[in-house]
Amino acid sequence: MDRSNALKTLAAVIGLLALVAVPIIADAAGSTAWISMATRILIYGMAAASLNFALGYGGLVSFGHAAFFGLGGYVVGILYQTYADETLLFGFIPGTNQLLVTLPATILVTGIAAAAIGALSLRTGGVQFIMITLAFAQMLFFFFSGLSAYGGEDGLIIRRTNELFGLNMRDRATLYWVTLAITALFFVIYRRLTMSSFGTIVSGLRQNERRMAALGIEAYRYRLIAFILSGIGTGIAGAMLANVMRFTSPDLLAWHTSGQLMIMVILGGVGTVTGPFLGAAVLLILEDVLNAWTENWPLILGLVLLVVVLQARGGLMAIVNLVRGNRS
């Protein structure tokens, strides 16, 4: 028991060191594109992990998480534009380019949005829940598409990444390390959440709502809180993506993005802690590699996805666990 714990800690430390070293290795290999890729993987990993809390742990199949992803991006974008134009948003909110302000603002905005969407959507279930979450995301998609003051369909360019402690955020490696630090913090909180008392209740509701009711649990409020936490996590990822891409657009809110996040979750393994990060890495790298190889890459991606869904239940984490299990 102690030995396996020590091994786990060792593996975590080595993993973290490897992640920290990515920009250095990429520089040495002369492929700085890896840094951008690694940054995006971390960000999409956070978004997918957040979705996984609602979907994998809570059994809430949300087809509308792109809404929170995109909202996070627009919080950063709109605050930046307000800052650049030196105007006031709604006549009283000053803009900002400080990450330490935009992230809490994202948490506030996506938290409120998730509370509103969740409070209404959770009154339904099953197919209707999937569709109503999709509907709310589509509403936001069309809303931002029509919002010409902030770029409309073309999206919103953020000229400079948010500032943090006077770091040189234009440097890709620095931006990567900042993202990594945020992801690491996110991961620690997320992992504790999945193992917490609250996480146990949420997962219990997925498995058997009737049993939980017989134990004294009102499903609605727990699911709502889980949905809000999930939305906030996805929003933070969206805010980081806008910072890294220096751009945000309605595409982030499109239903394809919701689908993409779901694919990452199922690729990595539904209801696992590290699976979504693995899923994000595999999907983004796969898209990249296939894209370089053939213009017909969506066909191959579709086939891979089909095989994974139909054949490999439990996703990549099931395979990882299988290998691990065989070894010990």
Residues binding other proteins (CB under 8 A): 55, 61, 63, 120, 123-128, 130-132, 134-136, 138-139, 142-149, 152, 189, 192-193, 195-201, 203-204, 207-208, 210-218, 222, 225, 229, 255, 259, 262-263, 266, 270, 296, 298-299, 301-303, 305-306, 309-310
84/213 with CB nearer other proteins: 213
32/128 with CB nearer other proteins: 128
**Closest listed residue to residue 239, CA positions, set 33, 61, 23, 80:** 80
Cα–Cα dist 140/116, whole Å: 13
Number of Cβ within a 10 Å radius of residue 206: 19
Q: How far is the CB of 80 from other proteins (least distance, A)?
A: 21
* Residues in a beta bridge with 89: 93
71/99 with CB nearer other proteins: 71
**Closest listed residue to residue 57, CA positions, set 215, 218, 194:** 194
Q: How far is the CB of 302 from other proteins (least distance, A)?
A: 3
3/210 with CB nearer other proteins: 210
Q: How far is the CB of 140 from other proteins (least distance, A)?
A: 9
Cα–Cα dist 273/277, whole Å: 8
User: Could you give phi then psi for residue 88, rounded to 5 degrees?
Assistant: -115, 130
Q: How far is the CB of 26 from other proteins (least distance, A)?
A: 30
Q: How far is the CB of 256 from other proteins (least distance, A)?
A: 9
User: Do the strands 93-94 and 247-248 form a parallel or antiparallel pair, or are they unpaired?
Assistant: unpaired
Tell me the residue length of the chain. 328
34/198 with CB nearer other proteins: 198
Q: What is the DSSP string of 77-97?
A: HHHHHHHHHT-EETTTEE---
263/284 with CB nearer other proteins: 263
Q: How far is the CB of 177 from other proteins (least distance, A)?
A: 25
